With several copies, the nearest count.
Chain A
Amino acid sequence: MSSLLEAYVQTEDFDITQEYQNLRENNSESGAFVSFLGQVRDFNEGDNVSSLELEHYPGMTEAVLNKLLQEASNRWAISRAKIIHRVGALKASDKIVWVAVSSAHRADAFAACEFLIDALKTQAPFWKKERGKQGERWLDAKDSDQAKARQWMK
């Protein structure tokens, strides 16, 4: 069975209501929907974050996201999966990333959704620059993200 897989990289915001509508439309064979929303936190490692600049590598980003979606679809029985990742200027509480998966079975939906966000965090070429009271700084990659990504390489 082929899954409906979609990835978008965009500066515009997205609408969760619309996303759930699209995910559930003509999808009554799926009983389980798992979604992940990542938003800009106002505190990161103790510093007050007022805004974020998200850069990416156009072309490679989309290729990686589509490869990850295909891998998720090969590993788990999912009917649909969609990733939206924003780039450009974002402020505290803005949405950054959306990963939504549907499946006939909840365990597959949970695993695929968590795999996608964990793999995206270490493989999709996005970079965050924070602006706060302390000025600007490019974020360092987190060891915990690398560790999470490795858990899926079994």
Chain B
Amino acid sequence: MITLLYFARYREALGLDSEQFSITCPCSVQDVIEQLKQRGEPWLSILADSKLMLAVNQTIATPDQALTDGDELAFFPPITGG
């Protein structure tokens, strides 16, 4: 089981800020993305967003990163703070 987090416009579009998600190891971020896409909209649009950013355990990550049980995977749009 891993934790998925959604922030900002993605959180609003999904009406969801976090969820628990089952994975079967070995598994990468890309595998999770593929499974989420099967839920249809609004997941499809969000996960196809060319500006989508990912963090695994609070560090910026790329889709090829491997996941293990207990990981935290966050999806968010580009940063606009400061």
Contact = CB atoms under 8 A, between A and B. Distances in A.
Contacts of B59: 60, 63
B82 interface: yes
Interface residues of B, number: 19
Interface in B39-81: 51, 55, 58-60, 74, 76-81
Contact of A128 (B11, B12, B60, B81): B81
Interface residues of A, number: 28
A115 B5 CA distance: 29
A139 B80 contact: yes
Interface in A43-57: 54-57
A141 B74 contact: no
Given A57-B5, A138-B8, A128 B74 contact: no
B51 A125 contact: no
B55 A126 contact: no
Given A57-B5, A127-B8, A129-B8, A121 B79 contact: yes
A122 interface: yes
Given A127-B8, A140-B78, 12 more contacts: A57-B74, A59-B58, A60-B59, A60-B74, A97-B82, A120-B81, A123-B79, A125-B55, A125-B76, A126-B79, A126-B82, A142-B80
29 contacts: A38-B82, A55-B8, A56-B81, A57-B7, A57-B58, A59-B58, A60-B59, A60-B74, A85-B82, A97-B82, A117-B82, A120-B81, A120-B82, A122-B79, A123-B60, A124-B79, A124-B81, A124-B82, A125-B55, A125-B79, A126-B79, A126-B80, A127-B76, A127-B79, A140-B78, A140-B80, A141-B51, A141-B77, A145-B82
Interface of B: 5, 7-9, 11-12, 51, 55, 58-60, 74, 76-82
